[in-house]
Structure formats: C-alpha cells, structure tokens
Chain A
Amino acid sequence: MLRSVWLVPALPLAGAAINLFAGKRLGRWAGILASGLMVVAFALALGVLAYLLRLPGNERLVVRHLGDWISVGSFRVAADLRVDPLSVTMMLVVTGVGAVIHVYSIGYMDGDPRYGRFFSYMNLFCFFMLTLVLAQNFLLLYLGWEGVGLCSYLLIGFWFERPLAASAAKKAFVVTRIGDTFMLVGIALVFLRLGSLDFSAVLRPSIESVQPSGVFTVIALLLFAGAVGKSAQVPLHTWLPDAMEGPTPVSALIHAATMVTAGVYLVARTHVFFEISGVALTVVLVIGLVTAVYAATCALGQDDLKRVLAYSTISQLGYMFFALGLKAYAAALFLLVTHAFYKALLFLSAGSVMHGLGGETDLKRMGALRRAMPFTAAMFGVGALAIAGVPPLSGYFAKDQILEVANRSGYLIAWLVALAGAFLSALYISRLMFLAFFGQDRTERAAHESPPVMTVPLALLAVGAVFGGVLGLSVTSGRLQGFLAPVLGELTEGAGGLPTAVLSVISVLAALAGIAVGWLVYGSGKVDWVALRVRFAGVHEFLAHGWYVDDVYSTSLVAPGKAGAAFLASAVDQRVIDGCVNGVGQLFQWAASRGRRLQTGLVRNYGLAFLVGVVLIFVYVGVRLS
C-alpha cells in the first residue's frame, strides 16, 4: 500500500495536466475527471491509513524514497515522502474534503467559460498541498508551500476580468510572500546551522545540543512568520477577507479547509524547534489568541456573507495557533480537522445561497431564506451550531478541549480571553444565521434550492461536522490525539484549574450566551438592528473595516511604496537608466558609423591600414628589444 503513496499527489497532478491541455474538449467531463481522481486519491489515503494503523504505535513512520531531487556538492535533497500519523491526517483532510468540494464544484462552476481550467487549478492545488504535507524535508515542503500559494493566486483571481478579483489575488500573493520570504530564510538557516533539511535528521529532541537555543528561537520565529502569512494571522491577515473574491469552492477548499491550515501543520511538524526555544512558543500563543479574538470582533461587523466566514476562519486559525502555543498540538490538529468539515460546510452552504440568489453575498439583501432553501438553511445551521460550540457537534469538542488546556496552563487571562472569543464566535455565526435565513425577506429576486450535485456534498460535510467529535472525545485520550501522539507527543496537562465538567459547562454557557444575544438582536425581531448600527456607526465602521488595519497598511506602507516605485520607474529608470542605455547605444552607433567609413572599398587604403598595423607591431618589437 505504501508503495503507491506517491499516487496520492500524482493523481491530482495528472488531472491538472489533462484538464490544462484538454479541459476545453472534455467539457463537462473535466469536473468529473478531476473529482474522480480526488475520490481515488482519498481511497488510497484511506488505504495508507489502514496500513499505518496495523503497525505498532511507535513504528508508524515510513519514508518513501522517490529519488534524488537536488545533489550539489554536500547539499543533497531527496524527493522523499513521509508517511506518519500527522501527514496521514493532513492527507485525509486534503483528499477527503477536497474530493467533496470538487464534486460540489461540478454544479457550482457549471456554465463557466473556463470550466476545465478551474478544475485544472483545483487539482494542481491538491497536488501541491499533498506535496506540502507529505514532504520529508524542508525544501520539498517549501515547494508545496509556494505551489499552493500560486494556486491560491490563480484561483482567487480566477475571474480576473473583475478588477476586485484580480487585485485580491495580487494582494494575497504579495502578503503571503512576506511570510514566505522569512520562512525561506528560516529554511536556509536550518541547513546552515543544523546541517540538513531532512525532517528525520533535524526534527528530533536531541538536536537541542547542536546549537544554542537562540538559534532555535530565530529559526522557529522565521518559520512561524511563514505560517503567519499562509494562515492569515495578525499582522499578515489582511489578504484573506479580500480572497473571498474567488469562486466559493475555492474559499472552502483553500481558504478554509486546507491551505490556510498549512501554517498550523508547519508549526506542529516543527514543534521541536518551538519547544527548544520556548520564546517562540509564547509568540505563537500570543499571536494566535490575539488573532482569534480580533478576527471574531471583525466578523461581527461584516455585511458580506463570505467575509464573515473569512474572518471566522482567521479567528478559528487563531485558536489553532493558540493551542499550539499551549503545546496542545493534537488539540490544534483536532480543531483543524473538525474546522475543515464545518467551515467547508459553511462555505459551501454560502455558495449554495449565492447560487440560489444569483451571486448575491450582501446580508442586507437576504433574510428568511429558510423558506426558499430549506436544505441549505439546515446545513448552514449544522455548521453554525458546530462552530458556535454547541454539544455534541464536533466544534464543541475541539474548542472545549483548547479552553480546557488553557485553563490548566496557568495563563488564566488567556483562558478568559479565549472564552470571550468563544462567545463572540457564537455571536457572529448566529448573527449570520439569523440575518440570512430568518427574519424578514429582503431579497431582490426569488431564491431557489441548489441541485443535488451541490446539496449531497453539503450533507456529507454535515455528517463530518456533526460526528467529527468522536475522533477526539477527550483531550488526553481521544482517538485522534492518541493516533498523533507518536509524532506530536503526549499532552502533559498542568495541575490545578477547574474540573473538566465545570469547564465544559462554562464553555457551553459561553456558546449559548452568544447564540442568545444573536437571537435577541438579529432573530427575535424585538431589536431594530438597523437602527442599532446607525446609532453605533463608529463601532460598526471600526469593525467592518477590520479595525482599519488595511487602511493603516495602505497609507503607511502601500502608498509610500507605490510612490517610491513610481519615482524609480519614471525618474530613475526612464531618465537615468534608460538614458544611460540609450546613450551607450547611440555612442556605439556613432562609433560604428565612423568605423565603417574606414572601409572605403579601395585596395590601396586596405594596404595602407595593413602597413600601419605592420609599423605598429614593429614599434612594439623595437620597444621589446631595447
């Protein structure tokens, strides 16, 4: 089974190639082909999982050598795939959720003029994402890392005729690039200081003795900078809300379930560095927590269906990093898996809404959609309850466990802030739910339910969102946690804190409180939320603009940068550099035309030139002799 693990990334790559070159001719078959390949890849991934489960827990690591990639002097990088519980978990998420979203896209993208191209990019994305998670060394991981960034760019800007989509794609690429650059430096540092890029060689606790811990802090922080960019954490989060310009399946696959979680995967994979450093772990914790709460507040101010979900994703990713910072790696991964289900479900339901409303995403022009789209509304409700953390849905277990670890960690303030974030999460998602599906009908056109090719995937994801919790019922002894323990280590819970049962009650209460407030303001009809937003216009605007972070970046970084570039382009490049180049060119033209005149065509002149040469040579001979 493990011999064919290379097929898991290779199948989508083949699909990408076929659809890129023959997508037009395949017509509708393009989507079926791409989806079919993803389903097969998922089946293979299940096979790999079954194989791995038969091995004893501490032997669940297989490295499949595909060949040498780079071999220059002492620098050797192999094309090796790493199969261990962590990579298999990620592989299953990518292929499983990926397959469902591919199928959904068959319906969602129907009629698009670049139908085949879309599936080509989607498959290509899956290939790179699988390369990322299966890589056995930093360079191969980086290949996947940049590849998913490329696909993200291509898919955000898939409808590049729209200026907003094109600029959002550019923004996503540039902003994540900032993190990527740090990450590349970090990888270079790994090679320089630790002597290898191979995970097995460097990701072991005994590596600590090789270098002072300061080196590990620098490496860990550089790698984390890459994670911050890719996973849209503060301060590099601004690209993700804009990235919603892409087709909704893209938002679901790339910007909710998989690519944005690559940062979480990276930190989990390299947690050895972070633990040696200690400081880096605290940085991860703080950034994660700040992002979780910050993005949750922003989500409250959004009127765009997808932007709410985008900020929600940022917030949820913040929770994952928060958990990583608490060394609860398995809890972070558990949230990653469950989040993949319910966030993909929410996005695809949102896509179904847009499909039914002809592309409408403004919450102000929705309402009461549960009548026209009952199934979509139910599915969205399942996702909303899951993200809000209502038991027994999957989101409850995942979030509750993180809060539990936070409470026991000794960072009481962190626990309180996280709890506030949980309340906010329940609030913004219920606001979304009530504004879109309940209350008065504010739609401008008749909505309709989506076709089965779109609703069946919703149901599949809903199953995951509801029952995903059974994978990891307990933070210490859950199945997923136990499965991941050989890679990520056992969680050592701090002593003290409140009993588990009390903590569960508190977190459920926080979720219910959020939902209750949401219902009161947006669902009950007793509060005029339109009047409320006018009255607190300042607050609303502040949240709607994401605390004006984007505007600060624009005025402090982007505008001066553009002005500088414009100056370099017009003054320096056109005048100085082009001037020099053209001047040199003209000089040579002039010299050439002068030189050409020597060529008179008369033999006597040629002979004269010849003789001049002879004389000069003999002058040299004379000088040499004397």
Chain B
Amino acid sequence: MLAQFLIHPPIQLGPIGPELVLTGTAIVVLLGAAFNPRIGHSTLLLVSLLGLAGAALVSIGLWDWGGELTVLAGMVATDRFAVVARLILLGIAAMGLVYGYHYFRRSGEARAEFYPLVLFATAGMTLIAAAADLILVFLALEILSLSLYVLTGISARLSSVEGSMKYFLLGAFSSAFFLYGVAMAYGATGSTRLSAIAHALAGQTGSLGLALAAVAFLGIGFGFKVAAVPFHMWTPDVYQGAPTPVTAFMAAGTKVAAFAALIRVLETSFQPLTLDWTPLVWTIAAVTVVAGSLIAIAQTDIKRMLAYSSIAHAGFVLIALTAAGQDGISAALFYLLAYALMVLGAFGVVMLVSARGEGRTSLASYAGLYRRSRLLAGLLTLFLLSLAGIPPTAGFIAKVNVFRAAVAAGHWPLVLVGVLASVVAAFFYIRVMVLMYMQEPQDDAEPDRSPWPRVAVAVPAVLTLLFGVFPGIVLGVLDKAAILRW
C-alpha cells in the first residue's frame, strides 16, 4: 500500500539543469549579499556571470540529448530548439548584467538584488523555452514577469516606478487571459500537455470551439509579452521608464523567450489548427509592423523610438510564424538572434550616451554625437543599419530569411506589407544617423568614456557584422534546432 505511493515517475533533472544552475546561483548571490551587505558588486557580477556560463555549459551538453523527448512527466522538452533558445537568452542575460553593473555604479543606485533578479528572470525565460506543458509555460511566464516588474521599478525615479506599475497591471491583465486559455485548452482536450493537446486535436476528439478559444486566449497572453499590436501599449512607457540596462535585457530577453514559447505552442499543440490561427497571426503581424514602424516616426525620445521599433520587429517575427514548419522556425530563430544583438547594442549605446542615469535620452542629445565620440556614433550606426535591415548586417539577413520563408508559404502580400513598413522604418533609423553626423552638438555633455562598457557594446557589434557577412556559421545550427520534438 505504502509502496504504491512511493512509486513515482523517474525524475531526470538533466534537462532542467540550466535552470537549476541559474536559480542556485541566484540564491547564492542573494544570500551572499544579504549576509554580507558590504560585498563588492564586482564579486556579485562575477558569480552571476559564472552561473550563466555554467548554465550555458549544461545547455550545450543537452544538444546531443539521447533520452526521452520530454521529461518530468512531460513537462520539459529536451529538443535542440530549447538548447539554442537558452543559449541566446543566457547571452542576453550576461550583457544585461554587465550593463547593469556599470550603469548602477555610475548612477549611484547600485543594489545587490539586481543580480539575483536578472538571474531569476533568466531562469524563467530559459524554462519557458523548454516548457512542454501549458502549466509550466504559465509558471515560467510568471517567474520572468514578476522579476521584470521589480527590475523595471528598481530605480527610484518616478518614471521607473510608473512603468513598473503599468507593466504589472497590464501584465496581470494578460496573465488572466493566458490562464483562461490554459483552462480552455484543458476543456477542449482534457490535458494541458502540449503533445496530448496536439494528439487530441489531430484525432479530432476535442472540441474545436474550445480549442479555438484557447488559441485566441493564449495568443493574447503571448501577444502582450512580445508586444504585438494592440497589446503593445505598455511597451513605450515601460521601455522608457526602466533603467536602460533593464530595458535592454527585457527588450531582448522577453521577446526571445515569449516567441520561443509561442512557436512551441503554435507549432506543436495547435499545429492541427494551423489553418485557423494563421490568418490571425497574419493580421496581427501586418498591423504590428505597420503601427510599430509608423508611430516610431513621431517619437522624440530614443528609448521610446526603440520601443516602437521593437514592436515592429515583433511583427516581423510574426511574419516568420505564418510560414509554418522548419523554414519559418529557423527564420524566426535567426531573426530573434539578430534582433537581440542589435537591440542590446542600441540600448548599450543609449546607456553610454546618457552617461549617468537617464538624463539624455532625447533624440536631440544625439545631434553631433560623431564629434563627441566616433566610436559610439559608429556603433550606433551599425545597430541602426541592422535594425533597418541594411546589409552587411545580421538584420538584413534576418529580414531576407523571414521574407523568403513567408513567400515560400505563399504569404507574399504580408511580405509586401513588411517590406513597405521597413521602408518607413528606415526613415527614423536614418534620421538618427543624420543627427549624429550632420548636425552640431546642442550642448557639451560628454558621453560615458569608460573602457569596459565600450568593449561590452562592441561585442554585439562584431557579432552583428559577423552574422551579416557569414550567416552560414549560425544558420546551420539554427536549422538543426528548428525541429521541435515532442
């Protein structure tokens, strides 16, 4: 009798090794800072980075996982898609930590909890990329969201707190929709496991109406996270209000994680309903690229402009999703990688131009930047070119791949919209370049000249160029990762 209770499914912790390492490091850092308040932040940074590196090593070890497709009672997927998504996210987190260390030290707001919060958020992000059960998706989503709410408000500035509050309110709103979607999926198919839902829908044993409602609700929840129109309203306020390193981390990380989960949910569970959800994604993609590109024109603050730009980029990834299958997933993964690089780089430059805190984020501060710092102006130019999708940058290859996949799937009108929107978008990216190179500086504020942060910002620049000129070096890996196993 008792033995019956003691029989439990085999527990394989290997596939959640990266998350275990991350949370473990986070707890160590948190406790260390709590028990020794005078501990140097460089130590905290170092330990955190080591944790990220450890998690990355464990992730790489999972590349050739020969065991079951899902572990922990079907909760966690072990495919290469999860490995690649994790690696991208860990890289983003490392950049975010380095930025934050430097930023808060200069702004005098250094807080030890920054490090564990980023690590927890990262753990949520990487877990969501591997989640094979809607419940786990929701849990991971909450882990990362709660950490990000706090991170947004970590500065005492009013706009930071305001952004945090808005993010939290609307985030809670969207979480409710998401949870409702999980319930609907359960109602339709009797399971929350992605593979079980897929089998039920493929065998047409579930309720189609409930299943469609589930897709809609889950889509709304994800739409909020990736900042798709019309669920994007929080983005400019939060991106502007949050301290710039948090913005960089959030803009890159949340988008990658949420898209990874969205891809997995749409391409596994609801794959039998592809014909039903594709028009929905199609429409949202079109509206998102157009609205994001359009409203960005009217912005006068670079962080807000980049926020709208990130909305538009979410639209481009959605375009890739309309092209179902390996081609679309591979294109989306490369786009996310390229996007993460350029958004990290762009916000990095924004942080350095602002020098201390958030005082100088208006576009006017960029007038004549070339005179002040050729390096920063050059780096920002590169990231803007990549954001605009101009060769030889990764952003160009990313757009080409997305458009190619969409055209191959027959969605050329959507590609047409995307191309036209990127023409509009080119305007506001190039306007910043005009400001930097062709106008006189309006004040004599000096940008941050610390050497190490510059090196950090140069890393995404080098990769943006590298993947722009030799995309083959990652495309092969991404193609292998673009097969979801469940």
Are A589 and B298 in contact, with the CB atoms below 8 A?
Answer: yes
Given the known interface contacts A614-B177, A614-B220, the answer about A596 and B298 at a Cβ–Cβ threshold of 8 Å is: yes
Render A583-622 as a binary contact track against B, CB cut-off 8 A, 1 for contact. Answer: 0010011011101101101010111011011100110110
The 8 A CB mask of B431-455 against A (1 = contact, 0 = none) is 0000000000000000000000000
B223 and A613 form a contact (CB under 8 A) = yes
6 closest A-B pairs by beta carbon, nearest first, are A606-B233, A613-B230, A592-B298, A592-B297, A595-B295, A596-B298
B224 and A591 contact, CB distance less than 8 A: no
**How distant is A604 from chain B, measured CB to nearest CB, in Å?**
10
Starting from the known contacts A617-B219, A625-B208, 20 additional A-B residue pairs (CB-CB under 8 Å) come to: A585-B427, A588-B294, A588-B297, A592-B294, A592-B296, A592-B298, A596-B298, A596-B299, A603-B169, A607-B173, A609-B233, A610-B170, A610-B173, A612-B230, A613-B223, A613-B231, A614-B177, A617-B220, A618-B216, A620-B283
Residues of chain A within 8 A (CB-CB) of B70 are none
Which residues of chain B from 254 to 283 have any CB-CB distance to chain A below 8 Å in the complex?
276, 279-280, 283
B234 touches A606 (CB 8 A): yes
In the bound complex, residues from chain A placing their C-beta under 8 Å from that of B296 are 592
User: A595 contacts which of B208, B294, B427 (Cβ < 8 Å)?
Assistant: B294
Contacts A601-B237, A618-B216 given; indicate if A610 touches B224 (C-beta within 8 A). yes
| Contact pattern, B 155-190, Cβ under 8 Å of A = 1, otherwise 0 | 000000000011001100110010000000000000
Shortest CB distance B298–A (Å): 4
Chain A residues within an 8 Å CB radius of B295: 592, 595-596, 599
Question: Is A535 located at the chain interface by the 8 A CB criterion?
Answer: no
The answer to whether the Cβ of B209 comes within 8 Å of any Cβ in the partner chain is yes
Q: Does B236 contact A (CB under 8 A)?
A: yes
Q: Contact between A609 and B230 (Cβ–Cβ < 8 Å)?
A: yes
Decide: A624 and B212 in contact? CB cutoff 8 A. yes
| CA A585 to CA B212, docked complex, whole Å | 40
Residue of A with least CB distance to B213:
A621
Is B294's CB under 8 angstroms from A610's CB?
Answer: no
Q: Which secondary structure dominates where chain A touches chain B?
A: helix
A603 to B213, CA, bound (A): 26
Q: B170, A603: Cβ atoms under 8 Å?
A: yes
Q: Which residue of chain B is the closest to A585 with respect to CB atoms? A: B427
B233 touches A605 (CB 8 A): yes
In the complex, the answer to whether A610 meets B230 with C-beta atoms within 8 Å is yes
Mark interface residues in A248-273 (1 if CB within 8 Å of B CB, else 0).
Answer: 00000000000000000000000000
Tell me the number of A-to-B contacts counted with CB atoms below 8 Å.
74
Contact present for B166 and A606 (CB under 8 Å): yes
Nearest-neighbour CB distance to chain B for A372, whole angstroms, equals: 58
The answer to the question of B424 belonging to the interface, with a C-beta cut-off of 8 Å to chain A, is yes
Q: Which of B170, B213, B424 contacts A588 (CB 8 A)?
A: B424
- Asked whether, in the complex, the Cβ of B280 is within 8 Å of the Cβ of A620, the reply is yes
Distance A601 CA – B298 CA, assembled complex (angstroms): 15
Question: How many whole Å from A577's CB to the nearest CB in chain B?
Answer: 16
CB-nearest residue of chain B relative to A616?
Answer: B230
- Interface residues, chain B, CB within 8 Å of chain A? 165-166, 169-170, 173-174, 177, 208-209, 212-213, 216, 219-220, 223-224, 229-231, 233-234, 236-237, 276, 279-280, 283, 291, 294-299, 424, 427
User: Within 8 Å CB of B223, what residues of A?
Assistant: 613
CA distance A103 to B54 in the complex (A): 70
Contact of A603 among B166, B216, B427 (CB under 8 A): B166
A607-B220 in contact given A595-B298, A596-B298 (Cβ < 8 Å)? no
Name B276's closest neighbour in chain A (CB-CB): A624
The minimal Cβ–Cβ distance linking A243 to chain B, given in whole angstroms, is 39
Contact A610 B298, beta carbon cutoff 8 Å: no
Q: List 9 A-B contacts (CB under 8 A).
A: A588-B294, A591-B294, A592-B298, A596-B298, A609-B233, A613-B230, A621-B212, A621-B213, A621-B216
In the complex, residue of chain B having the shortest beta-carbon distance to the beta carbon of A593: B298
- Residues from chain A with Cβ under 8 Å of B299 in the complex: 596
Which chain B residue has the least Cβ–Cβ distance from A618? B216
In whole angstroms, what is the CA distance A139 to B123 when docked? 59
Kindly identify which residue among A599, A609, A610 contacts B236, using a CB–CB cutoff of 8 Å: A599
Q: What separation, in Å, do the CA atoms of A624 and B215 have in the docked complex? A: 13
Cα–Cα distance between A598 and B237 once the two chains are bound (Å): 13
A605–B297 Cα distance when bound, in Å, is 22
How far, in Å, is B321 (CB) from chain A's closest CB?
Answer: 16
**Chain A proximity of B354: nearest CB distance (Å):** 22
Q: How far is the CA of A598 from the CA of B311 in the complex (A)?
A: 15
Q: Are B174's CB and A610's CB within 8 A?
A: yes
Which residues from chain A contact B209 at a C-beta distance below 8 Å? 625
Q: Which residues from chain B contact A613 at a C-beta distance below 8 Å? A: 220, 223, 229-231
Complex formed: what's the CA distance from A606 to B233 in Å? 6
B238 to chain A minimum Cβ distance, whole angstroms, is 11
Complex CA gap A621/B234 in Å reads: 25
Q: How far is the CB of B317 from chain A (nearest CB, A)?
A: 18
- Closest Cβ of chain A: how far from B129's Cβ, in Å? 25
Chain B residues whose CB sits within 8 angstroms of the CB of A589 once the complex forms: 297-298
Set of chain B residues within 8 Å of A614, measured between Cβ atoms: 177, 220
Q: What is the bound-complex CA distance between A350 and B224, given in angstroms? A: 82
**Which A residue's beta carbon lies closest to that of B230?**
A613
B170: contacting residue among A601, A607, A624, CB under 8 A: A607
Q: Give Cα A593–Cα B294 distance, bound, in whole angstroms.
A: 9
B210 → A minimal CB distance (Å)? 10
Distance between Cα atoms of A581 and B296 in the complex (Å): 19
Give the most central of B231, B294, B427: most A CB within 10 Å: B294
List of A residues within 8 angstroms of B297 by Cβ: 588-589, 592
**Residue in B174, B229, B283, B298 with the greatest tally of chain A CB atoms within 10 Å:** B298
Closest to B215 in A: A621
> What's the least CB distance linking B469 to chain A, in Å?
19
Bound Cα distance from A556 to B224, whole angstroms: 67
Per the bound structure, the CA–CA distance linking A624 and B427 in Å amounts to: 38
Please, which residues of chain B bring their CB within 8 A of the CB of A595? 291, 294-295, 298
* A294 vs B295: C-alpha distance when bound (angstroms): 68
- Complex Cα–Cα for A363 and B230 (A): 83
Q: In the complex, what distance in Å separates the CA atom of A624 from the CA atom of B279? A: 10
Q: When the two chains form their complex, are residues A610 and B280 in contact, meaning their CB atoms are under 8 A apart?
A: no
- Measured between alpha carbons, how far is A610 from B221 in the docked complex, in Å? 11
- The distance in angstroms between the C-alpha atoms of A593 and B230, with both chains bound, is 17
Q: Which residues of A contact B170 (CB under 8 A)?
A: 603, 606-607, 610
**Which residues of the partner chain B approach A607 to less than 8 Å between Cβ atoms?**
169-170, 173
Bound complex: CA A395 to CA B276 (Å): 87
Which residue of chain A has its CB nearest to the CB of B219?
A: A617
Residues in A neighbouring B166, C-beta threshold 8 A: 603, 606
CA distance A601 to B173 in the complex (A): 17
Chain B residues with CB under 8 A of A599: 233, 236, 295
Contacts of A620 in B (CB 8 A): 216, 279-280, 283
Given A606-B233, A609-B233, A610-B233, check contact A625 B220 (CB 8 Å). no
User: Would you give the shortest CB distance from B380 to chain A, in whole angstroms?
Assistant: 22
- Smallest beta-carbon distance A520→chain B, Å: 70
Closest to A597 in B: B298
Which residue of chain A is the closest to B273 with respect to CB atoms? A624
Closest to B229 in A: A613
The distance in angstroms between the C-alpha atoms of A606 and B162, with both chains bound, is 14
Please give me the residue from chain B that is nearest to A617 by CB atom.
B216
CB distance from A616 to the nearest CB of B (A): 8
Binary flags per residue of A78-103, CB closer than 8 Å to B gives 1, else 0 = 00000000000000000000000000
Counting chain B CB atoms within 10 Å of each CB, the highest count among A591, A601, A624 belongs to A624
* Closest residue of A by beta carbon distance from B224: A610
Report chain A residues within 8 Å CB of B234.
606
Quick one: closest A residue to B166, CB to CB?
A603
Distance in angstroms from A245 CB to nearest chain B CB is 37
Minimal Cβ-Cβ distance residue in B for A601: B237
Closest B residue to A606 using CB positions: B233
Contacts of A624 in B (CB 8 A): 212, 276
Q: What is the minimal beta-carbon distance from B360 to any residue of chain A, in angstroms?
A: 21
> What is the minimal beta-carbon distance from B95 to any residue of chain A, in angstroms?
28
